[in-house]
């Protein structure tokens, strides 16, 4: 499932992040990938030891924790610490098609996490730059993503994806990976659709025997499929 989640960050949070990131000292983004990724990656990233990194990460993490749509879609078990990247300059900076590594080291116990979902949180408005589309390739073709600042796109980490060359301006984003309580994407999508249907029925008609029955099925399926 690929999902656009609007307004994960509010305008004040975007402004604060950009104020810090626009004066940050960036490093070569190839430092954080393996040999395959380094062949197709040309961008810059905020170093993990940057003085502002803990605060910037906390803003993103707190925003995700309060977003119900994100939780319903991702069912997060482990989440990697957010990272930040920047693309700019006459078509030189881009990221060719690649697949994210299946596992990542994480500071949290047990030290490794499986990457079920990838997330890109946009921090630049679409008119601030040209090029720089995130393109995700799946069995239905290629999907180009270019979202307002503060919006997030969630997609399976198993998908081939890349970022087209930025030819004007600067594209600034945060990105991270999620290990879900439900490994299988199809099952996770079914649970998301069921949860959203329950929420819609409740908002229209209030609690009822029907919504109670659907909620029972939802939680029993989650109990059956979750890996915790």
194 pLDDT above the threshold of 80: yes
Q: How many Cα atoms occupy the beta-carbon half-sphere of 77 within 13 Å?
A: 18
Indicate if 135 and 26 belong to the same structural domain: yes
Residue 182's pLDDT band, with cuts at 50, 70 and 90, is very high
The model's pLDDT over 146-159, given as tens digits with 9 standing for 90+, comes to: 999 999 999 999 99
Residue 104 CB neighbour total at 10 angstroms? 16
Same-domain check for residues 158 and 192: no
- d(CA 176, CA 165) in angstroms, rounded, equals 21
- State the pLDDT confidence band at 91, using cuts at 50, 70 and 90: confident
Residues 17 and 104 in one domain: yes
State pTM to two decimals. 0.94
**Total domains present in the chain:** 2
Do 55 and 23 lie in a common domain? yes
User: Is residue 10 located within the same domain as residue 81?
Assistant: yes
**Do 124 and 192 fall within a single domain?**
no
> Greatest CA separation found in the chain?
59
Alpha-carbon torsion (124, 116, 80, 31), positive or negative: negative
Mean per-residue pLDDT, 92-119: 91
pLDDT band at 90; cut points 50, 70, 90: confident
User: 3-class DSSP state for residue 216?
Assistant: helix
Burial tier of 51 (Cβ tally within 10 Å: 0-12, 13-18, 19+)? exposed
Q: Give yes or no: residues 76 and 150 share one domain.
A: yes
Q: Alpha-carbon torsion 114, 86, 60, 1, what sign?
A: negative
- 171 and 205, same structural domain? no
Same-domain check for residues 77 and 121: yes
Instruction: Quote the pLDDT of residue 33.
Output: 63
In this prediction, residue 171 carries a pLDDT of 97
Average pLDDT over the chain reads: 94
CATH number at residue 56: 2.60.120.620
CB 58 within 8 A of CB 66: no
Average pLDDT over residues 33-40: 67
pLDDT at 22: 96
- Determine the pLDDT at residue 174: 98
| Dihedral, 179, 38, 160, 225 alpha carbons, nearest 10 | -10
Task: Compute CA distances 14 → 59, 131, 158, 174, 184, whole Å.
Answer: 9, 21, 29, 11, 32
Do 98 and 47 reside in the same domain of the chain? yes
125 with 58, same domain: the answer is: yes
Query: The dihedral of CA 57, 10, 68, 193: what is its sign?
Result: negative
Residues 6+ apart with CB under 8 A from 154: 1, 2, 3, 5, 70, 73, 74, 117, 118, 119, 178
Structural domain including 198 reads: 185-225
CA 72 to each of CA 93, 165, 181: distance values in angstroms, whole numbers, following the listed order:
34, 33, 11
Number of Cβ within 10 Å of residue 68's Cβ equals 10
Query: How large is the average pLDDT for residues 169-175?
Result: 97
At residue 38, the pLDDT reads 66
The residue-averaged pLDDT of 55-61 equals 98
One domain for residues 51 and 151: yes
């Amino acid at each position: 499932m690929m999902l656009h989640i609007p307004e994960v960050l509010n305008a004040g949070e975007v402004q604060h992040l950009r104020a810090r990131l626009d004066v940050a000292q960036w490093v070569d983004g190839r430092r954080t990938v393996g040999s395959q990724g380094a062949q197709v990656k040309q961008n810059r990233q905020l170093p993990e030891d940057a003085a502002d990194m803990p605060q910037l990460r906390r803003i993103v993490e707190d925003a995700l924790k309060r977003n119900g749509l994100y939780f319903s879609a991702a069912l997060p078990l482990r989440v990697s610490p957010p990272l930040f990247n920047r693309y700019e300059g006459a078509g030189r900076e881009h990221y060719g098609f690649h697949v994210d590594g299946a596992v990542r080291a994480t500071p949290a116990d047990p030290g490794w996490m499986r990457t079920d979902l990838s997330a890109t949180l946009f921090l630049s408005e679409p008119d601030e730059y040209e090029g720089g589309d995130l393109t995700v390739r799946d069995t239905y073709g290629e999907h180009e993503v270019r979202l307002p600042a503060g919006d997030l796109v969630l997609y399976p980490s198993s998908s081939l994806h890349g970022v087209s060359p930025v030819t004007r301006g600067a594209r600034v984003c945060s990105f991270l990976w999620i290990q879900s309580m439900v490994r299988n994407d199809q099952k996770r999508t079914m649970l998301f659709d069921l949860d959203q249907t329950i929420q819609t029925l409740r908002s229209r008609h209030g609690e009822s025997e029907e919504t109670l029955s659907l909620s029972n099925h939802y939680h029993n399926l989650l109990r059956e499929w979750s890996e915790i």
